[in-house]
Amino acid sequence: MKVLCFGSLNIDYVYRVDHVVRLGETEKSEEVSVNCGGKGLNQSVALARAGMTVSHAGMVGKDGQGLLDKCAENGIGTQYLRMIEGRCGHTIIQVDGEGNNSILLYGGANQCMTRAFIDEVLEGFEKGDVILLQNEINLLHAIIDKAYDRGMQIFLNPSPYHEALEKCDLRKISCFLLNEIEGEQMTGETKPEKILEALHEKYPSAKIVLTLGKEGSLYLDDAGMVRQEAFRVKAVDTTAAGDTFTGYFLYSQAAGMTPKEGLELASKAAALTVTRDGAMDSIPTMEEVMQYPWEEDQV
């Protein structure tokens, strides 16, 4: 069984500022950090650090060598990555002293998928293989259709939620992984159990994983509901918690674990992520996750 993550790769430019720049204003920044990101790449990194053999499909611009290197460094297969003219998907993030931010997102190469590229990539996959998707690249509906035609199991993290999802035939999804906000956007419900029930009614053959931040996570399929508490940790930065959870949960299911075992493993990994500053770099390896209970100062 092969695993493919088909999704975004981003460069995040994070500028420290005294205050977020106002209309018409020029403000100086004396500190910038440049980080690799994108939900797609974060989830590939989580899968790879969990120990999964994974390839990433997507596009980078001419400024994307660092993203390709990052994939290779993490042992992610790069044969389905293309470098095209123009710029990578990127964000320009301003963060002030109180942690408030403003984010400018440029889709760049992440919005340059073509049907020919999708066909070329998915030629390499067959019945039983797994594809993991998010909602940060264009032609998501075409990728879902093609992957379904090839008999792949489709895991979808419908994040960020926006109108492109309405074009997708979500009856083709094998497993949804989403947080409460996306759950509400998809169903109009606010209570976790109601979100699960509404999704199950609409997509009865899909498995559903709903994450609830520090309140834990829930899983629903035909066999019933499974609950998992979050692991108690000192939260430093919750960025990439959801991406870590998604990667580790998919790993668990590919490895034949039960949903309960999968939720527990994914929750442990995501808890470790929130004890660390940063996004991609805070995603733990399986070896680190297995050292639970962790150092006392983390708990």
Q: How far is the CB of 179 from ligand ADP (least distance, A)?
A: 4
Give the interface size with ligand ADP as a residue count (CB under 6 A): 19
Query: Is the distance from CB of 172 to CB of 201 less than 8 angstroms?
Result: no
From residue 252 to residue 281, what is the string marking binding to ligand ADP with x (rule CB under 6 A)? Answer: ---------------x--xx--x-------
From residue 60 to residue 79, what is the string marking binding to ligand ADP with x (rule CB under 6 A)? Answer: --------------------
Strands (E) across 53-169 are located at 54-60, 81-83, 89-95, 101-106, 130-133, 153-156
- Residue 61, Cβ density class (10 Å: 0-12 exposed, 13-18 middle, ≥19 buried): buried
Minimum CB distance to ligand ADP smaller for 125 or for 245: 245
Query: Is the distance from CB of 187 to CB of 194 less than 8 angstroms?
Result: yes
Q: How far is the CB of 104 from ligand ADP (least distance, A)?
A: 21
Q: Is 241 in the site for ligand ADP (CB under 6 A)?
A: yes
Minimum CB distance to ligand ADP smaller for 101 or for 238: 238
Strands (E) across 63-204 are located at 81-83, 89-95, 101-106, 130-133, 153-156, 175-179
Strands (E) across 123-169 are located at 130-133, 153-156
Nearest position to ligand ADP, beta carbon: 242
Q: How far is the CB of 246 from ligand ADP (least distance, A)?
A: 8
Q: How far is the CB of 226 from ligand ADP (least distance, A)?
A: 13
Written as one letter, the residue type at 44 is: S
Backbone φ, ψ for residue 67 (5° rounding): -70, -40
Query: Is the distance from CB of 79 to CB of 47 less than 8 angstroms?
Result: no
Q: Which residues contact 223 (CB under 8 A, 6 or more apart)?
A: none
Minimum CB distance to ligand ADP smaller for 80 or for 248: 248
From residue 137 to residue 176, what is the string marking binding to ligand ADP with x (rule CB under 6 A)? Answer: ----------------------------------------
| Helices (runs of H) and strands (runs of E) counted in the chain | 9, 13
Residues 208-237 that bind ligand ADP (CB under 6 A): 211-214, 216-217, 230-231, 233, 235
Question: Which residues would be at the binding site for ligand ADP (CB under 6 A)?
Answer: 179, 211-214, 216-217, 230-231, 233, 235, 238, 241-242, 245, 267, 270-271, 274
